[in-house]
Structure 1
Amino acid sequence: MEKTNYNFDSIQAYCDCYNIPVKHPLVAVVDFESITEPQSYSAKWGLYAIMLKDTKCCEINYGRTRYDYDDMSIVCFAPGQLTSIEIRDGLSTPSGKAVLIHPDFLFRTPLAQGIKKYSFFSYDSTEALHLSVDERQTIVDTIERIRTEIDHPIDRFSKSLIISNIELLLDYCLRYYSRQFIVREKMNYGIIAKFDNLLESYLSDGKSADKGIPSVKYFADKVALSPNYFGDLVKRETGVTAQDYIHEKVLNQAKMRLLHGEGNVSQVAYSL
């Protein structure tokens, strides 16, 4: 059956889709258990969304790969991104929570600029954050504090307290992603080794002369990761950004070619 297409450009649009009451026009906490008739759909997001899924209840297509949710995972979307949600027969009723934030809510707050550091908003769904029981409880407690402030009558403290708790939620996600990189160190090392081999081959095969210096996205695609996740992984494992890593390799290649008399400065520069 063909999926319905939605444009979630406002809290109202999302809540209308699921017959959920709107308590605040720019921020919401949603309980998936309150969605009585879950449906498959495709959506373009105009909101930031932090989604905690407790059960294997649906598939999300986001980026290149289909991902089945396991217990206690978090995935995040940002304005401008496209997703496809598929509710499958035989899977559990959706369980979990979501925090939805309209970009206008961040206007004139430090988080408006600081949101850029939370690069996991641009991870693929295959790069979801998997939580321990204790981590999940911390996330739920923080979401409930956001809900409490939304439910509280609006006063001059409301926005700053909601923003503070949203930032706390995002910082916890950042901490737990850092932990996830650590526990996957062996797998990450294999990715870095593959990246290094791909980069060496790219330069030695002369591709740079025709195509120029390769981009981070080029290698992220080769190892089947999103550019943001790949960049964060490289920075975590090597201490430098993926772009700097590439540039260092190019410079080293240039030095070696000059030392071995493979051309003058202009010729070597052109070859790279």
Structure 2
Amino acid sequence: MDIVRKGMSHILKVRNVNDYGSYIGCPVRHPLVCVVDYAEVSPIRHSLNNYSVYGLFLRDDADVDLDYGCGKYDYNKGTLLCVAPGQIGGKEDNGERVSITGWALLFHPDLLHGFPLEKRMKEYSFFDYRVNEALHMTDEEHDILVSLMRQIQDELCKKPDELQNAILVGYIELMLNFCLRFYNRQFLTRKIENSDILVRFDRLLRDYFDNKLQLTLGLPTVQYCADKLCLSPNYFGDVIKKSTGDTASNHIRRFVIRLAKNGLAAGETVSQVSDRLGFEYSQHFSRMFKKQEGITPSEYCQKLHS
């Protein structure tokens, strides 16, 4: 277990599950998996962690500020935050010991080697959500995740055998699938917020072209739009997909094609439209147009005048 100083911050390097378990005084019964019941180890000292493991943190206590990446997050009761290897999260140790409640599941990527879940991990996009995009659970959802935490904890107390890792991975995959279901529910119950994101997305695209940013930056990207809307690309993409049934990148392309059609209908040439919209080559514009519309820009012009 190493604690390194970075700038003014002390960062705990969580290279394996034992690094975190040892820090908070939780017994670790498996080299690749650890379940923490915070009620059993509290009070503990905070830590700002550099993760080399996956972590699911289910916090029941309110009014706890946590740093995560470049932002802060105020936990509410029944909130789930997920971290992945390469991320930094937590709160810097200030010497204070605090009593907290909730659960945590940490597992090392090596646990997944040889299991189908290893290849599926990229499907769980919530590992790359920002802190303000965390999952806020209903009581029922909260109880399901706690039940799974307890089952994993029980399995870790059993004598290891050749099936234990398969059983642990099965529990973890089940928990991740429930998280996916709960996030889908959250997208639906936040329709007003999501529709506001869609409105701001369209306004952002209009302003982008009105300010002629395409001439210096090229076509707007999903990353650019997500950054301007203060969302992670994954969460932004998932919101747009749930709201429109289409991807954010396709939404951008459709917006560009609408502008192109307006220009062609107003008498601009294919080359003029291509240049005005920020395409480096008119062939790229024609290729996008045909992929979206099924015909080339020239054929579209012919239809307009036939």
Q: TM-score range by the shorter chain?
A: over 0.9
CA distance in 2, matches of 1:8, 1:90: 20
CA contact (8 A) 1:55 1:92 kept: no
Q: State the SS of the aligned residue for 1:214.
A: coil
Report the counterpart of residue 265 of structure 1 in structure 2: 270
**TM-score between the two structures when normalised by the length of structure 1:** 0.93
User: 3-state SS of the aligned residue for 2:30?
Assistant: coil
Per the normalisation by structure 2, the TM-score is 0.83
Identity %: 37
CA–CA distance in 2 between the matches of 1:176 and 1:143? 16
Larger RCO (CA under 8 A, 6+ residues apart): 1
Choose 93-102 or 28-37, whichever is displaced more.
28-37
After TM superposition, the structure 1 stretch with the greater mean CA deviation from structure 2, 63-72 or 126-135, is 63-72
**Residue number among 218, 229, 232 corresponding to 2:235 in the alignment:** 229
Report the CA distance shift for 1:89/1:261 in structure 2 as closer, same or farther (over 3 A): farther
- Deviation at residue 92 of structure 1 after TM alignment: 6.8
Conserved? CA contact 1:57–1:91, under 8 Å: no
Unaligned runs of 5+ in 1: none
Report the counterpart of residue 28 of structure 1 in structure 2: 34
**Counterpart amino acid of 1:94?**
I
**Which of the pair has more CA radius of gyration?**
2
Question: CA separation in 2, counterparts of 1:57 and 1:106?
Answer: 35
1:12 to 13, 18, 28: 18
Q: Which residue of 2 aligns with 1:122?
A: 128
Task: Give, in angstroms, the shift of residue 154 of structure 1.
Answer: 1.5
- Please give the alpha-carbon distance, in whole angstroms, between the structure 1 residues aligned to 2:107 and 2:96: 31
Structure 1 residue 271 displacement after superposition: 2.2
The match for 2:249 among 228, 243, 260 is 243
CA distance in 2, matches of 1:82, 1:58: 17
Per-residue deviation, 1:150: 1.7
Q: Distance in 1 between matches of 2:45 and 2:240?
A: 38
1:87: how far off?
A: 7.4
Q: Distance in 2 between matches of 1:217 and 1:211?
A: 13
Report the CA distance between 1:64 and its aligned residue.
Answer: 4.1
1:133–1:249 CA distance, 2 compared to 1 (3 A)? same
| Alpha-carbon offset, residue 205 of structure 1 | 2.6
Counterpart of 1:196?
A: 202
Task: Kindly report the root-mean-square deviation, in angstroms, between the aligned alpha carbons of the 2 structures.
Answer: 2.0
| Alignment correspondent of 1:185 | 191
Residue 115 of structure 2 aligns to which amino acid in structure 1? Answer: T
Q: Deviations over 1:141-177 (max 9, x none)?
A: 1111111222221222211111111011011111111
- State the partner residue of 1:142: 148
Q: State the match for 2:299 in structure 1.
A: none
Rounded Cα–Cα distance in structure 2 between residues aligned with 1:90 and 1:83? 18
Match of 1:172 in 2: 178
Contact 2:49–2:88 (CA under 8 A) maintained in structure 1: yes
Matched, 1:213 2:223: no
Unaligned runs of 5+ in 2: 1-7, 278-306
CA contact (8 A) 1:203 1:250 kept: no
